[in-house]
Amino acid sequence: MSLIDLSLSGLSEPGTKLIEKISDAIGVLYEPTRIRKKAKAEAEAKRTELISRLELEGIEKRAVERFLKRETKRQENIENITMQAAQSLSESDNVSDIDEDWIEAFFRECEDISDEQMQMLWGRILSEEAKSKGSFSRRTLKLLSTISKEEANLITYFGKFVWQANKLTPILFTDENGDTEGITFDKLSVLDSLGVIQQGIGYSLTAEFTIQVQQKKKYSSTRI
């Protein structure tokens, strides 16, 4: 049975191509929304009937109901994230081949993400991987699956301080009051603990990025 039930109506050609590639990896069924709603109602009735026919009682019945509820929610999360990714692709985007093992790893890490804002983030990751294979390693996916919404917002905000010179260089400027636009030492410590940056004081840094602050503290990013 197909794992994803999406409508292709209104999607760009690259968006449609992305869903087709996911279909090759995990299975996709395309149907209009009205059919999906009807099918969902019918599936709910069949689920109740199935549990009844199995003559389950007590803890067994509750276990089956919990399993089905959990997997249904995961399915909804997978579909929402996939649609976010497909809708973000424009006609000018080129969709590359995505490794099937990567796709399976991706959905394992995000199937329990139900927050809408976090689903948008995961949708962006999927669309960027579709445009440029290898953009996100499995280690990165593992890290992202463990961060909170607040931590994700901090990482996104931190990205605005990255400048392109000969190489990408995050730079923090301080005003006369020592303010660094909300990037405090505590927040740098959070980014450090997440593995986004690494502190390095008093020695030469070899990592790809260097953050220079007025107080002579240096950080470098860890490429994940």
34, 142: one domain: yes
The pLDDT of residue 189: 82
58, 160: one domain: no
The pLDDT of residue 114: 93
- Give the least confident one: 6-15, 111-120, 149-158: 6-15
Q: What residue type is 49 in one-letter code?
A: E
81, 111: one domain: yes
* Chosen domain end from 146, 173, 200: 146
- One DSSP character per residue, 20-71 reads HHHHHHH-EEE--HHHHHHHHHHHHHHHHHHHHHTT--HHHHHHHHHHHHHH
User: Each residue of 107-117: pLDDT tens digit?
Assistant: 999 999 999 98
Query: What is the average pLDDT value for the chain, to the nearest integer?
Result: 74
Residue span of the structural domain in which 131 resides: 4-146
- Give the least confident one: 40-44, 103-107, 111-115, 170-174: 40-44
User: Each residue of 18-29: pLDDT tens digit?
Assistant: 888 887 777 654
pLDDT at 106 over 70: yes
How many structural domains is the chain composed of? Answer: 2
Comparing 73 with 24, the larger pLDDT belongs to 73
204, 110: one domain: no
47, 76: one domain: yes
The predicted model gives 65-90 an average pLDDT of 88
131, 196: one domain: no
d(CA 203, CA 189): 19
139, 167: one domain: no
pLDDT at 119 over 80: yes
13, 117: one domain: yes
* Chosen domain end from 112, 146, 180: 146
122, 158: one domain: no
Q: 62: which strand partners? A: none
111, 157: one domain: no
CA neighbor of 73 nearest in space, from 63, 61, 65: 65
**Alpha helices in the chain, H assignment, sequence order:** 13-26, 33-53, 58-88, 100-110, 116-131, 138-144, 149-158, 185-194
* Chosen domain end from 113, 146, 179: 146
User: Each residue of 188-197: pLDDT tens digit?
Assistant: 788 878 777 7
**Token pair belonging to 176:** 């006369």
The pLDDT of residue 222: 43
93, 161: one domain: no
